[in-house]
Chain A
């Protein structure tokens, strides 16, 4: 029911001039959920976040925050905690004053006393683990510390929902991982409805309860990380989430014609006859040494958590990427030039939609999105 959701978005559309940022977006976010809006740049994810906050106004549709019509309220009245991509800390104020800002600008009858403000701010700074930095200025902080100040400032007004725009975008990889884990713990402690925008699939899959995949201003799929990664609903989601081999093929009687590979499990609900594309994750490509096999190993990369191999199919020269754990690889010891047979443990077939732009015109190609 719409009534029970913390954020209810229905039929939201937004244009900037001739550019359609969002069209007919429906989304329900339950109270206490941690949701990721995931998509490439230009997919409308930040616009959706800013519409929820009230920083942008939709051209049509409705938006309820805790069952209350939010489009009747301005950004000031929505009580939203918003963490900006570059934090937008007030550069002339100390950390303490930054966090206190939301309390200090309250109307006099609701505003807490000065001592109360100070103690609340200090508690918040302790919560985000920077209790000792209250007197510093934003320019004297590291990226991760600024991020925490921005979060404390957003939490100070006791927001109904917390929105974060690319919260880890401006941090380096190491800090990013730590903060991600920390944010998850903080969310579990506060149980606050939280929505964050990201273009990093790893971040979305690791952190969120549910992932909303956006593309071209539309929602492509909504689901748990397992659902969107394990069973992508369409080629866009497949391309965007994780690495995938894309095998162009002809479809006959609902089956793909791929003469060089055996397919163990076929997913996808009945593709029509005609041109189609088979999506195979690299870890679902199984290789076996076979002197009469249809493919040749071209490259073996043993650095990293898995062994990566590139395999060239002799007929038609397509290149497949395969991945296997080190202990499996140890049983084969493939080297470049080995002839192999190819098996797809699982593959998903989609009909080529007329007019749908594919990233690469090659008959068979490999894409790795956002890695």
Chain B
């Protein structure tokens, strides 16, 4: 029967009224700020039935926005994947001058408002900017065009992969890499057979977050895009335009896609965390 010493249990847990209060507050908070908006996105989107919902998504401008968002993510995420791995590798496995400066720079996009990030590109590549006149002479258009959107997205999302990998790689140290080298492996073999498998879950996690942000980014993209329908409108921008035109059903329909993306990301993220957690507990030493 209940032979567990009560005092030991009491010392570890709060009295039950406090416990219930804390749990209620937390649940209430989540309900008001997360569940309610999420539900309202889907109810608004489906207010006039599935016909109107799919109609809104099949609209040419909506399809163009979806296509552009996918394109931008397809360019920005792989680039940031490579950059993130390279930066994390350099920071975690080597000592060099300016290392802390590099870490600070990697964090910069997190600390700068996305609108400012967008403005930087306008100042650099815009027609009145430093490089703008030269580039437009060569026939390159960056601001108010797809390249600008891609650049702004890369800037905003580049910390995700690196930030995820640096602590992981630092914790793992360089022992296994050294062991591989002593056993005769080349640098590339060491990376492919030892380093990469060790970071694969962290890497996937970082890519997932990077992708979610790349598709959902509003501020920076808004500044450089120019909001040209069917050409430079990404999904978040399209949601805003439709909303401002009082086209609520279409607006929420596109928004629901972004919300779905968020839910899928969340599920995948939990899956990976579960996987990593299992790996950690099984690792010992």
Task: Spell out A's residues near B (CB within 8 Å).
Answer: 53-55, 75-77, 79-82, 84, 86, 88-93, 101-102, 105-106, 137-140, 143, 146, 153-154, 156-157
Q: Which residue of B lies closest to A163 (CB)?
A: B182
B241 at interface, CB cutoff 8 A:
no
Q: Are B183 and A153 in contact (CB under 8 A)?
A: yes
Q: Are B175 and A88 in contact (CB under 8 A)?
A: yes
Contact with A along B253-285 (1 / 0, CB 8 A): 000000000000000000000000000001111
Task: Spell out B's residues near A (CB within 8 Å).
Answer: 175-176, 178-186, 189, 193-194, 197-198, 282-285
| Given the contacts A76-B186, A102-B183, A105-B184, A139 and B194 also touching, CB distance less than 8 Å | no
Q: Which residue of A lies closest to B284 (CB)?
A: A139
Please, which residues of chain B bring their CB within 8 A of the CB of A76? Answer: 181-182, 184-186
| Given the contacts A86-B285, A139-B282, A105 and B179 also touching, CB distance less than 8 Å | no
Chain B: minimal CB distance from A259 (Å) = 56
Q: Are A82 and B184 in contact (CB under 8 A)?
A: no
Q: Are A84 and B185 in contact (CB under 8 A)?
A: no
Q: Are B176 and A88 in contact (CB under 8 A)?
A: yes
Q: Are A105 and B189 in contact (CB under 8 A)?
A: yes
| Given the contacts A84-B175, A92-B197, A92-B198, A140 and B183 also touching, CB distance less than 8 Å | no
Q: Are B282 and A88 in contact (CB under 8 A)?
A: no
Please, which residues of chain A bring their CB within 8 A of the CB of B176? Answer: 88-91
Please, which residues of chain A bring their CB within 8 A of the CB of B284? Answer: 138-139
Chain B: minimal CB distance from A282 (Å) = 38
Q: Are A140 and B180 in contact (CB under 8 A)?
A: no
Q: Which residue from B178, B183, B198, B285 sits with its C-beta under 8 Å from A101?
A: B183
Q: Which residue of A lies closest to B190 (CB)?
A: A105
Please, which residues of chain A bring their CB within 8 A of the CB of B186? Answer: 76, 105
Q: Which residue from B182, B185, B197, B282 sits with its C-beta under 8 Å from A140?
A: B282
Q: Known A-B contacts: A80-B182, A89-B179, A101-B180. Give 4 more (CB < 8 A).
A: A54-B182, A88-B176, A91-B176, A106-B184
Q: Are B175 and A86 in contact (CB under 8 A)?
A: yes
Please, which residues of chain B bring their CB within 8 A of the CB of A90? Answer: 176, 179-180, 193-194
How many contacts between A and B, using CB within 8 angstroms? 70
Q: Are B283 and A91 in contact (CB under 8 A)?
A: yes
Q: Are A84 and B183 in contact (CB under 8 A)?
A: no
Chain A: minimal CB distance from B128 (Å) = 50
Q: Which residue from B175, B178, B184, B283 sits with its C-beta under 8 Å from A102?
A: B184
| Given the contacts A92-B197, A92-B198, A139-B284, A82 and B179 also touching, CB distance less than 8 Å | yes
Q: Are B183 and A105 in contact (CB under 8 A)?
A: yes
Q: Are B282 and A157 in contact (CB under 8 A)?
A: no
Q: Which residue of A lies closest to B179 (CB)?
A: A88
| Given the contacts A139-B283, A139-B284, A157 and B183 also touching, CB distance less than 8 Å | yes
Chain B: minimal CB distance from A76 (Å) = 5
Please, which residues of chain A bring their CB within 8 A of the CB of B179? Answer: 82, 84, 88-90, 153
Q: Whole-angstrom distance between the alpha carbons of A1 and B283 in the complex? A: 48
Q: Are A84 and B189 in contact (CB under 8 A)?
A: no
Which of B183, B189, B284 has the most chain A CB within a 10 Å cutoff? B183
Please, which residues of chain A bring their CB within 8 A of the CB of B198? Answer: 91-92
Please, which residues of chain B bring their CB within 8 A of the CB of A105? Answer: 180, 183-186, 189, 193
Please, which residues of chain A bring their CB within 8 A of the CB of B285? Answer: 86, 139, 143, 146
Q: Which residue of B lies closest to A141 (CB)?
A: B284
Q: Whole-angstrom distance between the alpha carbons of A154 and B184 in the complex? A: 11
Chain B: minimal CB distance from A82 (Å) = 4
| Given the contacts A90-B176, A90-B194, A139-B283, A53 and B183 also touching, CB distance less than 8 Å | no
Q: Are A84 and B184 in contact (CB under 8 A)?
A: no
Pairs A–B under 8 Å by Cβ, sample size 24: A55-B178, A76-B182, A76-B184, A76-B185, A77-B184, A82-B179, A82-B182, A84-B175, A84-B179, A86-B285, A88-B175, A90-B193, A91-B198, A91-B283, A92-B198, A101-B180, A101-B183, A105-B189, A106-B184, A138-B284, A143-B285, A154-B183, A157-B183, A157-B184
Chain A: minimal CB distance from B125 (Å) = 43
Please, which residues of chain B bring their CB within 8 A of the CB of A92? Answer: 197-198
Q: Which residue of A lies closest to B185 (CB)?
A: A105
Chain B: minimal CB distance from A347 (Å) = 46
Q: Whole-angstrom distance between the alpha carbons of A91 and B198 in the complex? A: 8
Q: Which residue of A lies closest to B280 (CB)?
A: A139
Chain A: minimal CB distance from B278 (Å) = 11
Q: Which residue of B lies closest to A82 (CB)?
A: B182
Please, which residues of chain A bring their CB within 8 A of the CB of B283? Answer: 91, 139
Please, which residues of chain A bring their CB within 8 A of the CB of B178? Answer: 55, 84, 88
Q: Are A101 and B197 in contact (CB under 8 A)?
A: no
Q: Are A53 and B182 in contact (CB under 8 A)?
A: yes
Q: What 7 A-B pairs are tightest by C-beta distance, nearest first?
A: A88-B175, A102-B183, A88-B179, A105-B185, A92-B197, A82-B182, A139-B283
Q: Whole-angstrom distance between the alpha carbons of A254 and B21 in the complex? A: 84
Which of A75, A76, A79, A157 has the most chain B CB within a 10 Å cutoff? A76
Q: Are A101 and B185 in contact (CB under 8 A)?
A: yes
Please, which residues of chain A bring their CB within 8 A of the CB of B189? Answer: 105
Please, which residues of chain B bring their CB within 8 A of the CB of A138? Answer: 284
Please, which residues of chain B bring their CB within 8 A of the CB of A143? Answer: 285
Q: Which residue of B lies closest to A105 (CB)?
A: B185
Please, which residues of chain A bring their CB within 8 A of the CB of B194? Answer: 90
Chain A: minimal CB distance from B280 (Å) = 10
Chain B: minimal CB distance from A166 (Å) = 13
Q: Whole-angstrom distance between the alpha carbons of A66 and B267 in the complex? A: 58
Q: Are A75 and B181 in contact (CB under 8 A)?
A: yes
Q: Whole-angstrom distance between the alpha carbons of A214 and B189 in the complex? A: 36
Q: Which residue from B182, B184, B185, B193 sits with its C-beta under 8 Å from A55?
A: B182
Please, which residues of chain B bring their CB within 8 A of the CB of A106? Answer: 184
Chain A: minimal CB distance from B217 (Å) = 34
Please, which residues of chain A bring their CB within 8 A of the CB of B282? Answer: 137, 139-140
